[in-house]
Amino acid sequence: MYENLAAQSAQQGGWSSYAAGLLERPVEWAAERTGVPAPNVKAALVERAQAASSVLVEWGASLLSNLTATLGNGVLSLFVLFFLFIEGDEIRAGILRWMPLKPEHTQELLKAVADSIVANLYAVAAVGSVQGALTWLGLLIAGVGSPVLWGAVAAGCSLLPLVGTAVVWGPAAVYLLLQGAWGKALFLALWGVLVVSMSDNLVRPWVLRGRTEMNTLVVFFALMGGMQAFGFIGIFAGPVIFAVALAVFRMLREEYALEQSAA
C-alpha cells in the first residue's frame, strides 16, 4: 500500500499535493451542500484531522503498552507451564492434601476449572475460524486480492487484544478508499464492524454454553463481568471464576441439604 501511494503521490508532485487532490472533491461536495466556502471547509477538515491524529497517537501508545503486557504475560505463562508439566501430578496431589475441603469437593472444583479452560480454548478456535471465514467473504465480495490468505491472517489476528481482525480488514478498506472505490470501502468497513467483530459476541457464548453448565445469558454476563474487572484477560478468567463460584454454591447447597436431612 505504501509503495502504491508513494508512486501516485510522486506523479502528482509529492504527498502534500496528493493529499490536497484527495480532499478536493469531498471539500467541494461539502461546500455545495452546506453553503460554506471551500477554504473554510478545508480548514475545518484540517482541524479535525489534527485532533484525530492526537487521538490516534494516544491510542497507538495504549495499543503498544497492551501488546507489550500481553507478550510479557505470554512469556511468564510459558515459564510457569514448564514447571506444571514437570511437577503437575505432585502439585495436584498437594492441592488435594492442603485444600480445607473433602477430596471429592476439591476434585469437583478442579474439574470445573479444567472444563472452563478447555471450553475457552474451543471458543477461541471457533471465534478465530468464524471471523477468518467472514473476513475472507468480505474481502472476496469487495474484490481485494488473496482473500483466502488474508482470511487466514484474520483468524490468527482474532487473538489480538483491542484490534483483532481489524488489522486485516481496516487497511483493506483504507486501500479501497484511496483507490477511489468508495462503495466497496464503505461495505468492507461496515462488514468488519457489524459482522466480523460482532460475531465474537455470538459465537463465544454459544460455544461456552455447550461445554459448561451455564446458559447463554449467564455466559454473557460472565464474559462482560470478566472484561470489566480484568480487561482483555477477563474473556478467559470470567467464565472460569463463574464456573468455580457455581461449583462452590452447589457444594454448599448439598451440605445444607445433608444437614437438614440429618436434623
Q: Hey, what's the cell of 230?
A: 480484568
Query: Which of the two residues, 51 and 135, has the higher pLDDT score?
Result: 135
Among 38-52, 81-95, 97-111, 155-169, name the most confident range.
Answer: 81-95
Whether residue 137 lies inside any domain: the answer is yes
Whether residue 111 lies inside any domain: the answer is yes
- Measure the CA angle with vertex 234, ends 233 and 237; round to 5°: 95
Q: Hey, what's the cell of 156?
A: 490468527
Rounded CA gap, 236 and 223, in Å? 8
Whether residue 13 lies inside any domain: the answer is no
Give me the sign of the Cα torsion angle 237, 242, 243, 245: positive
Radius of gyration in angstroms for the set of CA atoms belonging to the chain, rounded to a whole number: 26
Whether residue 230 lies inside any domain: the answer is yes
Any idea which residue has 441439604 for its cell?
257
Whether residue 53 lies inside any domain: the answer is no
Q: Hey, what's the cell of 24?
A: 478536493
Whether residue 76 lies inside any domain: the answer is no
Cβ atoms 183, 216 nearer than 8 A: no
Burial, 191: exposed, middle or buried (Cβ in 10 Å; 0-12, 13-18, 19+)?
buried
Distances (CA, A) of 15 to 1, 35, 101, 218: 14, 29, 69, 52
Q: What is the reported pLDDT for 55?
A: 72
Query: Which of the two residues, 139 and 38, has the higher pLDDT score?
Result: 139
Cβ atoms 242, 218 nearer than 8 A: yes
pLDDT > 60? residue 185: yes
Query: At 143, is the pLDDT very low, low, confident or very high (cuts 50, 70, 90)?
Result: confident
pLDDT > 70? residue 14: no
Rounded CA gap, 104 and 247, in Å? 12
Cβ atoms 158, 164 nearer than 8 A: yes
Whether residue 261 lies inside any domain: the answer is yes
- Measure the CA angle with vertex 217, ends 132 and 136; round to 5°: 10
| DSSP track, 3-41 | HHHHHHHHHTTSHHHHHHHHHHHHHHHHHHHH---HHHH
Query: At 76, is the pLDDT very low, low, confident or very high (cuts 50, 70, 90)?
Result: very high
Cβ atoms 243, 112 nearer than 8 A: yes
pTM recorded for the entire structure? 0.57
> At 13, which helix (H) or strand (E)?
none
Whether residue 72 lies inside any domain: the answer is no
Provide the number of structural domains found in the chain: 1
Helices (H), 143-215: 147-157, 166-178, 182-190, 200-211
Distances (CA, A) of 128 to 104, 198, 200, 202: 36, 13, 9, 13
Q: Identify the domain containing residue 190 by its residue range.
A: 99-263
CA dihedral 146, 63, 56, 168 (to 10 degrees): 10
Q: What is the reported pLDDT for 50?
A: 64
